[in-house]
C-alpha cells in the first residue's frame, strides 16, 4: 500500500510538472442541512476543483401544498395559508391576496384601511430586509451587523403584536378590511421607530456595507446582466440591483401607493460590476429608507373611519378570473384566482418571486468558487416557504 501511494504521488507530481494533470468533475451536495442555504434547499453542484461548472437546485423539502389547500378552503380561510408562504413578509402576502379577491368582487375598502395596509406592508418590508441584510452579513463572516438588524426588527414585531396579537403569521389583512384597528398610540410608536431606526442604517453602513473586506467578497461576484434578469423573469431587488428601474408600487400602482413621494432604488455598479452581489445587497439597504418615507407620509395622512364596514358577510365572487400582483420584499408576488361562483376558489395560482429569482442561480454562478456561491445565494434572498409553497 505504501508503495502504491508513493507511485501515485510521483504520477501527480509528474503530471503537474508536464502540465498534463487530469482532473474529473465532482458532484457535491450543498444542503439541505447546510446553514447558508437559508432553509431546506439542496443545491447539486458540479465542480471542477473549487470552480462551479453547473448548479441544479432541488426543491420540495418544505412543500405544504398551498394551492391545493386553497381549493378546499373558503376565500377568507385562505389568508392564514398566505401568511405561511413567505413567512418573513406575511403582511405583504395577505395584502396581495385580499386585493385580488376585492377586485374579483368589486369591493372598495375604506380610506383608513388603505393607509393602514400600506403602513403595515412597508414596516414588513423593512423587517424582511433587515433579516436579509443581517443574514447576508453572517454568510460573508460578519456577525455584529446581524445583532443590530434583529434588534430593530424586534421593534416592528412589537408593533405588529400590539396590533393583532401575532409576531410572525398575522392573518391581519382581511378581504374588505382588517382583523383589528390599530391601537391607541400606534402612530406614536411607528414614528418613534422610524426616528430610532435611521441611525441603524448608518451604523450598518459603517460596520458592514462599506467595509473593505465585505466589498471585496461581494463586488463583481454573481453578476446578473439586466437582459438575463428580464429573460428569467426576475423582479424586486434582484432585478433592480442590475440597474432595471422597475417597481410595481410606482409602475403598476395598487392600493394608494401613487399618493406618496419616494424613489425607486437601482444598482449602479459603484463597487464592482453592475448587478453583482453588492448591488443587490445595497438596493435592500437603501429601500429601507424609502419605506420610512412612505410610512411617514401615510401616518401623516391617516384618516379616521371604520376598518370593517366593507368586509362582506359572505364571500362568494361571481364566476370569473383575476390576476393581481404586488411588490413584495423579494419581488413580484402574483395571485391568479379562478372563481366558479362557489364559496371556495376553483383555483389559486401563486407567482412566487423567490422561486423565479432562484431559477437564475445556475446562470450567474458558473465559473465562481464554492465560497462565492454562498454569497450569491445569500444575495438572492430566498424564503423556502415561498419557493416550495
In terms of residue numbers, what domain contains 37? 2-58
**52 and 79 both lie in a single domain:** no
Q: Flag whether 378 is in a domain.
A: no
- pLDDT at residue number 22: 57
Q: Flag whether 377 is in a domain.
A: no
Mean pLDDT within 26-30 = 89
**154 and 8 both lie in a single domain:** no
**264 and 321 both lie in a single domain:** yes
CA 121: distance to chain centroid?
Answer: 13
**185 and 156 both lie in a single domain:** yes
Q: Flag whether 246 is in a domain.
A: yes
| pLDDT at residue 370 tops 60 | yes
Q: Flag whether 146 is in a domain.
A: yes
Structurally, the chain folds into a number of domains equal to 2
**70 and 54 both lie in a single domain:** no
- Confidence class for position 178, pLDDT limits 50, 70, 90: very high
Q: Which of 42, 58, 74 is the last residue of a domain?
A: 58
**79 and 115 both lie in a single domain:** yes
Instruction: Find out whether 118 and 312 touch, Cβ atoms under 8 Å.
Output: no
- Confidence class for position 33, pLDDT limits 50, 70, 90: confident
Tens digit of each residue's pLDDT (9 = 90 or more) over 234-277:
999 999 999 999 999 999 999 999 999 999 999 998 888 999 99
**246 and 154 both lie in a single domain:** yes
| b (16+ CB within 10 A) / e for 268-297 | ebebbbbbbbbbbbbbbbbbbebbbebbbb
- pLDDT at residue number 35: 77
DSSP helix/strand/coil, 271:
coil
Query: What cell was used for 139?
Result: 454568510
Q: What CATH number is given to the structural domain containing 211?
A: 1.10.645.10
Tens digit of each residue's pLDDT (9 = 90 or more) over 292-334:
999 999 999 999 999 999 999 999 999 999 999 999 999 999 9
Mean pLDDT within 14-26 = 60
**243 and 296 both lie in a single domain:** yes
**32 and 161 both lie in a single domain:** no
Instruction: Name the DSSP letter for residue 259.
Output: G
| b (16+ CB within 10 A) / e for 49-64 | eeebbebebebeebee
**78 and 6 both lie in a single domain:** no
Residue 266: how many CA atoms within 13 Å on its side-chain side?
Answer: 13
**22 and 104 both lie in a single domain:** no
| pLDDT at residue 16 tops 50 | no
- Confidence class for position 62, pLDDT limits 50, 70, 90: confident
Mean pLDDT within 144-161 = 94
Q: Flag whether 376 is in a domain.
A: no
- Confidence class for position 11, pLDDT limits 50, 70, 90: low
- pLDDT at residue number 14: 57
pTM: 0.92
DSSP helix/strand/coil, 140:
helix
- Confidence class for position 20, pLDDT limits 50, 70, 90: low
**16 and 152 both lie in a single domain:** no
Amino acid at each position: 500500500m505504501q508503495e502504491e501511494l508513493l507511485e501515485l504521488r510521483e504520477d501527480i507530481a509528474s503530471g503537474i510538472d508536464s502540465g498534463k494533470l487530469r482532473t474529473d468533475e465532482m458532484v457535491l451536495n450543498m444542503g439541505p442541512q447546510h446553514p447558508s442555504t437559508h432553509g431546506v434547499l439542496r443545491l447539486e453542484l458540479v465542480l471542477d476543483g473549487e470552480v462551479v461548472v453547473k448548479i441544479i437546485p432541488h426543491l420540495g423539502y418544505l412543500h405544504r401544498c398551498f394551492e391545493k389547500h386553497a381549493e378546499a378552503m373558503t376565500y377568507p380561510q385562505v389568508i392564514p395559508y398566505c401568511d405561511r408562504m413567505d413567512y418573513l413578509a406575511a403582511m405583504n402576502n395577505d395584502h396581495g391576496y385580499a386585493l385580488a379577491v376585492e377586485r374579483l368582487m368589486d369591493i372598495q375598502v375604506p380610506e383608513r384601511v388603505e393607509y393602514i395596509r400600506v403602513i403595515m406592508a412597508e414596516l414588513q418590508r423593512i423587517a424582511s430586509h433587515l433579516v436579509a441584510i443581517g443574514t447576508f452579513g453572517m454568510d460573508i463572516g460578519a456577525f455584529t451587523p446581524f445583532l443590530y438588524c434583529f434588534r430593530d426588527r424586534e421593534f416592528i414585531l412589537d408593533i405588529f403584536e400590539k396590533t393583532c396579537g401575532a409576531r410572525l403569521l398575522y392573518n391581519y389583512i382581511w378581504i374588505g378590511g382588517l382583523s383589528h384597528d390599530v391601537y391607541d398610540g400606534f402612530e406614536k410608536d411607528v414614528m418613534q421607530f422610524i426616528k430610532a431606526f435611521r441611525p441603524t442604517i448608518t451604523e450598518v453602513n459603517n460596520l458592514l456595507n462599506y467595509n473593505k473586506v465585505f466589498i471585496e467578497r461581494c463586488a463583481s461576484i454573481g453578476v446578473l446582466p439586466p437582459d438575463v434578469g428580464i429573460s428569467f423573469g426576475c423582479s424586486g431587488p434582484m432585478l433592480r440591483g442590475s440597474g432595471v428601474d422597475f417597481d410595481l408600487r410606482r409602475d403598476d400602482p395598487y392600493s394608494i401607493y401613487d399618493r406618496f413621494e419616494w424613489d425607486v432604488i437601482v444598482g449602479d455598479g459603484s463597487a464592482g460590476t453592475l448587478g453583482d452581489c453588492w448591488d443587490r445587497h445595497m438596493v435592500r439597504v437603501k429601500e429601507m429608507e424609502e419605506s420610512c418615507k412612505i410610512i411617514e407620509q401615510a401616518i401623516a395622512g391617516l384618516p379616521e373611519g371604520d376598518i370593517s364596514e366593507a368586509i362582506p358577510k359572505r364571500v362568494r365572487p361571481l364566476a370569473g378570473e383575476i390576476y393581481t400582483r404586488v411588490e413584495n420584499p423579494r419581488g413580484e408576488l402574483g395571485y391568479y384566482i379562478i372563481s366558479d361562483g362557489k364559496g371556495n376558489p376553483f383555483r389559486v395560482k401563486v407567482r412566487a418571486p423567490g422561486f423565479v429569482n432562484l431559477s437564475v442561480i445556475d446562470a450567474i454562478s458558473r465559473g465562481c468558487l464554492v465560497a462565492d456561491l454562498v454569497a450569491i445565494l445569500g444575495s438572492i434572498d430566498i424564503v423556502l416557504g415561498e419557493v416550495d409553497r
